[in-house]
Structure 1
Amino acid sequence: MTLTAVQPVKSARKAKGDGHLRRAEILRAAETIFVRDGYQGATIRKIADEVGVSSTALYMHFRDKDEILLEIAETMVGQLLASNTEIAGRPLDAVTKVRLMLAAYMRFGLENPNAYRLVYLAKSDEEGGPQNERLTDISARCYEAFHGAVAEIEADGRLGVGKSDIAAHVLWSACHGLVALRITRTQLAWEDNEVLMSTMLDGIFDGLLTR
């Protein structure tokens, strides 16, 4: 879907508020602008106007737009890491763990479409997708927790197709595809999100697991 640029409505200047509340407001506004205008089109001035503060006031919270974009990405991936880590530690069978991780991943993307677009759909070579060592580390740990659970399925002798590396990539790719289509092809008559996710997972696991 081609995003249609919308002329921003300049907000009235706001009084100073609590720092953490204003910072969160800036991040929410920035998500919208990054998605709408792309990395190159997003500016500190646009973000400040959307929030209703001066550019100078915004610089008190973030040094530049790269820092804003990076915090959005780190927050999203950090929440996914926390979810995967918590699920991995539960006394559950490996298949249930993987299913819960994938459901949480899809649900988070569907509930946070702007953040998902920025982290997983932005073209980094054209739009300045966020990358640094900390984000790379968080992302790697998030995937390791997921892959570890898939490897448990293989170790239990229940993985009927390929190795755990291949299965993990296929599982993630399929779920990413569902989220990406759901949040970018909004003109389609989609079924309820929970039904879509359940059907996706039923189909995938039916094909990958031994009977």
Structure 2
Amino acid sequence: MSERAKGESTRTERGNRTRAKLIEAAEKVFAELGYHDASIVKLTEAAGVAQGTFYLYFQSKQQIFDELVQDLNRRVRHAMSEASAGGVNRIESERLGFHAFFRFTAEHPALYRIIRQAEFVSPAALRLHYTRIVEGYVDGLDKAKSNGEITDLDTTVAAWALMGIGELIGMRWVLWDDSNDSLPEPVFDEVMALIQRALGARVLDSDTGEVT
């Protein structure tokens, strides 16, 4: 690698780190102060960078807010899809995916506060956030339906309904209850029993090949 290429690579790596610091600071500042009380000065102070540096990466407070919503969306979807991929059947994938969501909620309570702000600050970002989650969810439910693991239902309606369950349960038992660093196990079990009944989820016996 040439010296010039090395220098460009270093600048890119440094730039990526600075951008990541600003996004991380934005998560904290927007969650604590709200969009309207946050400012570029407070964002850069939290990130530990000069105010002028902000404009090397973002044109406005609105832009960094929108990119923060996208970043949170990417991270929560990754956590859920990575976890659910380990399931051997649909209900187990649901269990693993929901568990990952509630864990992410406990670790990133700003997710709720920021997404709710997006309803008024950036409706387009809010819609994109939910739509991206549902798209992946529908794909998984479609495969499960074709495999006979769940009942014949409208997978788009089911995906939106299940996402609503997860969000409100997480709000009540994780976000609102400071004593919980995860969803209480009895609540989680009740949620999963409800989801299994709603999906008409059946389990494929790996030994017999029969669905039960």
Q: Tell me the TM-score normalised to structure 1 length.
A: 0.69
Moved more, 86-95 or 34-43: 86-95
Q: Which residue of 1 aligns with 2:206?
A: none
The verdict on how the C-alpha distance between 1:153 and 1:210 changes in structure 2, with shifts beyond 3 A counting, is: same
The Cα of 1:44 is off from its aligned counterpart by 0.5
Rounded Cα–Cα distance in structure 2 between residues aligned with 1:59 and 1:182: 39
Larger Rg: 2
1:173 to 164, 168, 181: 164
- Which residue does the alignment assign to 1:41? 37
Q: Deviations over 1:126-183 (max 9, x none)?
A: xx136359x82x7534312212222344445554696434432332111111222245
Give distance in 2, aligned partners of 1:129 and 1:89.
32
Does 193-202 or 28-37 show the bigger shift? Answer: 193-202
- Secondary structure, aligned partner of 1:40: coil
Whole-angstrom CA distance in 1 between matches of 2:123 and 2:44: 20
Question: Which stretches in structure 2 are left out of the alignment for 5+ residues?
Answer: 1-12, 203-212
Among 186, 193, 197, the residue aligned to 2:183 = 193
Give the equivalent residue in structure 2 for 1:124.
119
The answer to whether the 8 A contact 1:88-1:97 is kept is yes
Shift of 1:83: 4.6
Matches within 5 A, 1:63-78: 63-78=59-74
Kept in 2, the 8 Å contact 1:34–1:42? The answer is yes
Q: 1:69 to 1:20 in 2, by over 3 A?
A: same
Which fold has the larger relative contact order, with Cα–Cα distance below 8 Å and residues 6 or more apart in sequence? 1
Distance 1:29 1:89 in 2: 31
Tell me the secondary structure at the aligned position of residue 92 of structure 1. coil
Q: CA–CA distance in 2 between the matches of 1:162 and 1:181?
A: 28
Change (3 A) 1:194 1:166: same
SS in 2 for 1:53: coil
In structure 2, the partner of 1:13 is none
RMSD, matched Cα: 3.4
Which SS does the other structure have where 1:131 is aligned?
helix
Contact 2:106–2:175 under 8 Å retained in 1: no
- Distance in 2 between residues matched to 1:98 and 1:165, nearest whole Å: 15
Contact 1:95 1:150 survives alignment (8 Å): no
**Quick one: distance in 2 between partners of 1:59 and 1:35?**
21
The count of aligned residue pairs is 189
- Counterparts in 2 of 1:110 and 1:190: CA distance versus 1, 3 Å: closer
Tell me what 1:149 maps to: 140
Q: What's the % identity of the aligned pairs? A: 20
Match of 2:48 in 1: 52
Distance 2:190 2:134 in 1: 20
Q: Deviations over 1:85-114 (max 9, x none)?
A: 556766832222233322222222222111
Choose from 99, 102, 107 the match for 1:106.
102
TM-score (norm 2): 0.69
